[in-house]
Copies of this chain bind each other. A is one copy, B any other.
Amino acid sequence: MKLTTRGRYAVTAMLDLALNGKQGPVSLAAISQRQEISLSYLEQLFAKLRKNELVASVRGPGGGYRLSRDSEQINVADIISAVNESTDSTSCQGKGDCQNGEACLTHQLWDDLSQQIHVFLSGISLANLTQRREVKVVSERQTRGGLEDAGMYSETLINAKALNL
């Protein structure tokens, strides 16, 4: 589980899709303008998102991309993994040497942590993020001052718990 600006671009684009794709497909050109990401780069990202069946494409005029399933059913870990698909696994996960050595122990500890992060991100869906924001916008209007991050954050925790975390 790697977390770089590349994944951020992908999540951002998918969030844009979730927000703007309610009435028909959204073109990459539109996302490119709104999110200030180069069109060609988006094309590359969406090629991977499509291979991983997170989005579906509609070609021709009026076409674009739409989420391949409900935003509740697409989580952040899915998106990040999709665009990062690469040649990783540098740890000694099966090497003959390094049997129960200290190195292997720490590598396993890292793998565990990595898995925890993955599970955590699996529990956060696109819908989850957009709903959270809507809740915040509403409550900001109500309180006329804006919530502090502490407040928003406890909201997050509640959601996380509801999602089995």
Contacts and interface: CB of A to CB of B under 8 A. Distances in A.
A15 B165 contact: no
A157 B153 contact: no
B153 A106 contact: no
A115 B149 contact: yes
Interface residues of A, number: 47
A39 to B, nearest CB: 15
A66 B53 CA distance: 47
A117 B3 contact: yes
A138 interface: no
Copy tally for this chain in the complex stands at: 2
Given A4-B4, A120-B120, A121-B117, A15 B110 contact: yes
Interface string A1-27: 111110010011001100110000000
Interface centre among A12, A101, A112, A133 (most CB of B within 10 A): A112
A83 interface: no
Interface of A: 1-5, 8, 11-12, 15-16, 19-20, 34-36, 76, 90, 101-103, 105-110, 112-113, 115-117, 119-121, 124, 129-130, 132-133, 149, 152-153, 156-157, 160, 164-165
17 contacts: A2-B5, A4-B4, A12-B107, A15-B106, A15-B109, A16-B106, A19-B102, A34-B103, A36-B103, A105-B133, A109-B133, A112-B132, A113-B129, A115-B153, A117-B117, A117-B120, A119-B156
